[in-house]
Structure 1
Amino acid sequence: MNSNNNRLASRLGLFVLLGVTLMPGLQAQPAPVEEIRPGILRGYLAQSELPNALGIIPPVPEADSAAFAWEQSVNQRLLGLRDTPRWALAVLDNDLSFPSAAGTFSCALDMPINQQDTPYLYQLLRRTLPDAGLATYSAKDHYQRTRPFVTNGEPICAAGQEETLSTDGSYPSGHTAIGWAWALILSELAPERSEEIFKRGLAFGDSRMVCNVHWPMDVIQGQIVAAATVAVLQSNPDFTNDMQQAAREIAAFSGRGMPANRNCEEEAAALVIVVPR
């Protein structure tokens, strides 16, 4: 396993419930997948199959550019969201470990997401995490952009991770790539919920700016890398199989009145808070 895998990995039941039964062709559990590190499943893509972020996204904005001046102004305005409900959501979004991260789109899909009830969807999220995250590292390692908290000296929502993040390139945002990849995938599985899914996916990227760990262009270009990754995934047979099974799980559970992983009222209240640009 290469150093990129090590770096990202270091951070990072029966389908019968309340009268919902197995659909034809839906297996109860997917085949086990090995972990590349404790808690991190092997992705669908080999390292050689990942999109080359360095060749896709533009260079980091120059220090004396209008683009960077805009980024700095956005960052300063976002510091005012500290200790608000929006900051609390950014704290949640910072945690990419499972089962916590499985709840990210639970409210958007109006259903629970967990290993017992939705095993294919749960695995789909876990396996696409390293694919989208690692795809950012060709650019991250090349540019080694300094993160905003190092520049402004203000707190971050990822308490205790300051030392690790200060030596990890900011551009593009790996968290954003993961969250936007999930949004693109889930919108394909549940197009009728696409508005809620995309709203939550965009907010996931915004959380990285609220958290004071990424600049706006880091987030924007993270979304580009996510789109490139999802495009490559479409030709992977294991991915497409898990997509088919996950679609059946969503059809069985979404909108059935079952409790989501998180408090959806609190999430909605946090999302109402405008993230300034």
Structure 2
Amino acid sequence: MSQALRIPRPLLYVPLSVLLAACAVPATRPAAVEANATTRATGYLADDAVPASLDLVPAPPAAGSAGFALDEQVSREARALRGTPRFAQATRDAELGFPEGAGQFSCAIDMDVDAQRTPALYRLLERSRIDASAATRAAKKHYQRPRPFMVNGEPTCSPDDEAGLRGNGSYPSGHTSIGWAWALILSEIAPGRADAIQARGRNYGESRLVCNVHWQSDILEGRFMGAAAVARLHDNAGFQRDLAAARKEIAAARAAGMHSSRDCAAEESVLKVRPGSAL
């Protein structure tokens, strides 16, 4: 036997199944984001590290309960914003697909985010989005709560998404979980903008009320699951690397005098309109 074909002696004693396993490509779980978002990215968390929403959130308010009466009241107040600038903003907030979704907090952090100039921050937002959405999956599937537009018969801000949303439970809100996770992450890497970022995280979720696709209780528990996801992410080495790199990108952008290119004064004014006095 020639030297080129000789098998190293230690490998002669390794079971074939182990060698095959070492060559296997690890499976990736599908992105669990809501109807209008598609991505090739994967989250940071393994399936067994995703927070267990079915164990962490209570059952949604039952029909006829005081909790559901409040949900209906807030929904009516939110639907009254149809046709206003706040409704137009809620329509923009519905977009979770990347690259558009990367800019949802541009005004809050006062910086544009894209894959070319801020690759680590872009990657951090895209991948954490998948984890925050996955954190709501079990409860959504279990409760299959009908969304407001399915109950009140009124349209949403994203008609093209309605067919998909009908089969995706309302409780807890995936968009809200994502928005609040982003708010917590961005507050950590841009602490000087923390108040603006967290306010944006709150009103990002409230946009789902204005869009007539979520109830108030969906929003509240969505924030909870977003926070739970971020807690798990902090124990992930890949997340920590991207977090550190994103912090450096933001610092460099600040030093270079970069700011958001959006009309942030207009956005801030619109977002001061809240969708329900009960909130």
On whether the aligned pair clears a TM of 0.5, the verdict is: yes
Which sections of structure 2, spanning at least 5 residues, go unmatched? Answer: 1-26
Number of aligned positions between the proteins: 251
The structure number with the bigger radius of gyration is: 2
2:26 counterpart of 1:8: no
SS in 2 for 1:8: coil
Instruction: Using the TM superposition, give the Cα deviation of residue 204 of structure 1 relative to its aligned residue in structure 2, in angstroms.
Output: 0.4
Query: What is residue 108 of structure 1 aligned with on the other side?
Result: 108
Contact between 1:173 and 1:221, CA under 8 Å: does it hold in 2?
yes
Q: Is the Cα contact below 8 Å between 2:52 and 2:135 reproduced in 1?
A: yes
Distance in 2 (alpha carbons) for counterparts of 1:43 and 1:254? 28
Specify whether residues 151 and 83 from structure 1 end up closer, same or farther in structure 2 by C-alpha distance, changes over 3 A only.
same
Assess if the C-alpha contact under 8 Å between 2:35 and 2:165 holds in 1: no
Query: Taking structure 1 as reference, are residues 196 and 7 closer, same or farther at Cα in structure 2, changes over 3 Å only?
Result: closer
Question: Is 2:74–2:275's contact at 8 Å kept on the other side of the alignment?
Answer: no
CA contact (8 A) 1:113 1:261 kept: no
- 1:166 to 2:166 alignment: yes
Residue deviations 1:69-90 (CA, integer Å, cap 9, x gap): 0110110111110111111111
Residue 114 of structure 1 aligns with an amino acid whose one-letter code is D
What is residue 203 of structure 1 aligned with on the other side? 203
1:112-169 Cα distance to aligned partner (Å, 9 max, x none): 1111111100000000011000110110000000000011111101121111111210
User: C-alpha displacement at 1:261, in angstroms?
Assistant: 4.9
Query: 1:40 aligns to what SS in structure 2?
Result: coil
- Which stretches in structure 1 are left out of the alignment for 5+ residues? 13-37
Structure 2 CA distance for aligned equivalents of residues 6 and 178 of structure 1: 13
Question: Is the counterpart of residue 39 in structure 1 residue 64 in structure 2?
Answer: no
User: Could you say what secondary structure the match of 1:5 adopts?
Assistant: coil
Map of 2:216 onto structure 1: 216
Question: CA separation in 2, counterparts of 1:219 and 1:40?
Answer: 27
Give the Cα–Cα distance (whole angstroms) in 1 for the partners of residues 272 and 259 of structure 2: 21
Amino-acid identity (%): 46
Matched AA of 1:5: P
Match of 1:178, SS state, is: helix
Tell me what 2:78 maps to: 78
How many Å apart are 1:39 and its aligned residue?
A: 2.7
Shift of 1:255: 7.9
User: CA deviation digits over 1:94-128, x for unaligned, max 9?
Assistant: 00011111111111111111111111000000000
CA contact (8 A) 2:172 2:219 kept: yes
Residue 44 (structure 1) shift: 0.3
1:188 partnered with 2:213: no
| CA-atom RMSD in angstroms | 1.8
Given that 1:233 and 1:239 are in contact with CA atoms closer than 8 Å, whether structure 2 keeps it comes out as yes
Contact (CA 8 Å) 2:71, 2:215: kept in 1 or not? yes
